[in-house]
Structure 1
Amino acid sequence: APGRDLAGSNSNSLANLGWNKGMHRKSNLHTDYKGKHYEQCGYDTKGKQKPSHSVSVRRPFPLSHGTTTLGFIFQGGVIAAADTRASAGGLVACPAVHKITPIHSHLVVTSSGSGADCMLWERILTREIRLYQLRHKRRLSIRGTAKLLSLMLHPFKGTDVCVALTLCGWDKLIYVCSDGARLQGDIFSVGSGSPYAYGVLDRSLSWSLHKEEAILLAREAVFRATHRDAYSGNNVDLFHVTAEGWRQRQREDLKEEYYRDMEKRGIFNRNITVWSL
């Protein structure tokens, strides 16, 4: 309306819309950087970096994941086994990942947790073990390796880093978690399918198992877990670690184990072709 002053009642409306009296757009860049954006980038409101090793970024939705890995000791060495399914919530992200990684000739590591975190820390561990060997002209022991990994992971306790590694040497089995926990034992199973795998292992595992019996037991434990756990499945990888080094078995499709189990029960026969109209 004529006669109304911009410096009067309309000035408040302009200010609320982000304009000044000269009809120039106000800039909130400085305010944003001192506030929200500083915090998201790991800085406080004064522009100083926060004393944190990892910047946590809120995910737009919860991303659950699962797996089945196991390892146990018997009179013939150590058996390590795992499925090959990588899951992201209800999605099968990859059906053929490698969850057992050789670190050196006498040590393999089973991994569970976030796929990216596990791959990163396995590479870091491999590098540190190699550097130790070059400096000291000898290989770091399994206990020393577990202690080193635990010390490296401990500063990330309370962050979103999710790593659970089982170190399988030829005579030792040590579990290391991303909060720095370090446990030694004769049998470990980690992941969403571990309760089912433990049920099979606790029933049949003994020190006096022969090599083929131990391999069959590990394969059956992974199969039973993947049969009940939706986050595990596809194939089974299996390593046998002895004083001579590790040896990998050929990857096997778990559906073959399923068919063998059904035939054993007399429920299914693959040699019979069923025709349907």
Structure 2
Amino acid sequence: MNQSNENMVGTTTVGLVCQDGVVLATETRATMGALIANKAVNKLYQLDDKVGATIAGTVSHAQTLMDVLQAEIALYKLKNEKDMSMEAIAVLTSNILKSNAYGVQLILTGVDKKGPKLYGLDPSGSYIDDDYTSTGSGSPFAYGVLENKYRKDLTTDEGRLVALEAISAAKQRDVYSGNGFRLATITDEGMKTYTNEEIEELVAQL
């Protein structure tokens, strides 16, 4: 990790709960002030078979936090021979954020025995159980789409298009958000991360 990564910010991420799972989407631009520092930053992570997260904020902090969460979730599963619940993962993440200086916003999503869940977490460690949310500099533009298009009866297939439209709106208006897309869905069958070709086909439907 070079030193400049610590200051790379500028993001739009979205997450939404659907009737059969959850959807996560991000763009891929990282900025340092007015400079586009990287056009292909990964802001979407798989933490377990049915758990995913997006990151917004200081890149080095976010990458470290993702590594810690992946390790803690795997250790819990090894010790207890069962999956950690989404609520427990949210509480764990909240406690880590409260005890360390992580300049990170997260969308934490997954599917457990209680069904699809989504939590938004801020750098202070507060967390909110929600139906949909957005983080980062482009979130006001993404929320415009989410408020208009979100329904609780959306399927993940439909939710993919809503999420991509929200990211597209942010890319058009927020100079700190742009370049490519990342997209994933999580259902009872696990987490699917979409290829660039699959995303292009979906974006063409918008």
TM-score with structure 2 setting the length: 0.88
Q: Name 1:234's counterpart in structure 2.
A: 179
Aligned to 1:251: 196
Higher strand share: 2
| Equivalent residue, structure 2, for 1:130 | 74
Contact 1:235 1:252 in 2 (8 A): no
Structure 2: stretches of 5+ with no match in the other structure: 1-6
Q: 1:260–1:152: structure 2 CA closer, same or farther, 3 Å change rule?
A: closer
Structure with the bigger RCO (C-alpha within 8 Å, sep 6+) is 2
Distance 1:201 1:194, change over 3 A: same
Question: Is the Cα–Cα contact under 8 Å of residues 236 and 252 in structure 1 kept in the other structure?
Answer: no
What is the DSSP-based 3-state SS (H/G/I as helix, E as strand, rest coil) of the residue aligned with 1:172?
strand
- SS of the aligned residue for 2:55 comes to strand
Matched, 1:95 2:39: yes
* Aligned residue number for residue 4 of structure 2: none
Separation in 1, partners of 2:10, 2:134: 12
User: Quick one: which amino acid aligns to residue 180 of structure 2?
Assistant: N
The yes-or-no answer on 1:184 pairing with 2:129 is yes
Q: CA deviation at 1:253?
A: 10
Structure 1 pair 257–128 and aligned structure 2 pair: CA distance change class (3 A):
closer
AA of the residue aligned to 1:166: I
Work out whether residues 27 and 181 of structure 2, in 8 Å CA contact, stay in contact via their aligned partners in 1.
yes
In structure 1, the partner of 2:88 is 144
Q: Is 1:113 aligned to residue 42 of structure 2? A: no
Report how far residue 154 of structure 1 moved: 0.7
Larger Rg: 1
Q: Secondary structure at the match of 2:45?
A: strand
Between the two proteins, what is the percent identity of the paired residues? Answer: 35
Q: Spell out structure 1 runs of 4+ moving beyond 6 A.
A: 253-261
Q: Is the 8 A contact 2:161 2:203 kept in 1?
A: no
Deviation at 1:84, TM superposition (A): 0.7
Q: 1:231 to 1:205 in 2, by over 3 A?
A: same
Distance 1:236 1:186 in 2: 22
Q: Distance in 1 between matches of 2:155 and 2:92?
A: 33
Flag structure 1 segments of 5+ consecutive residues without an equivalent. 1-62, 262-277
Output the CA distance in 2 between the equivalents of 1:166 and 1:137.
26
Summarize deviations over 1:225-260 as a string: whole Å, max 9, x none.
111000001011110110111111122699999987
What is the root-mean-square deviation of aligned Cα atoms in Å?
2.2
* Alpha-carbon distance in structure 2 between the residues aligned to 1:199 and 1:193: 11
